[in-house]
Amino acid sequence: MNAPRAVARRTDPDTSREAADSLGDLTDLQIRVLNLLDEVGAATDEALVDAYEARFGQVSPSTVRTRRRELQDAGAVEVVAYGQTKGGRKCRVYRARASTPSLGL
C-alpha cells in the first residue's frame, strides 16, 4: 500500500500546492500530527501528545515527538516560541508552517 501524499484543495493558492508537493509521501501518524498542529495553532510536544491522546487514544510520547521532528525536518513544522513543560523546564513551541496545506483527514 502506498503512503498518502500531502494534498492541497483546488481553491488553495499555488504556494499551498507547492508545499503539498514538497512534503512527498507522509505516514498516517505524520498526517495526524500535522493536522493536530494545524488545528491547535501552536503547541509544545507535551501539549501535542495530550491533543493526540484526546483524539486517538494512548500513544508513546516519543512516537509523537518523532513524527513532529520528521515533519520539522521536511519543513512542514517550525519553532515559533519557547514555553515551559509541565515540570517547569524550558521547551520549544511548534506550529504547522503557514504554507503547509491542511490534509483534511
pLDDT digits (tens, 9 = 90+) for 91-102: 999 999 876 555
Domain boundaries, the chain: 14-79+87-93
Nearest to 49 by CA among 37, 83, 89, 88: 37
- The predicted model scores a pTM of 0.71
pLDDT digits (tens, 9 = 90+) for 25-75: 678 899 999 999 999 999 999 999 999 999 999 999 999 999 999 999 989
pLDDT of amino acid 26: 79
Distance between CA atoms of 92 and 78, rounded to whole angstroms? 10
pLDDT of amino acid 70: 94
Tell me the CATH number of domain 14-79+87-93, given options 1.10.10, 1.20.120, 1.20.58, 1.10.3470: 1.10.10
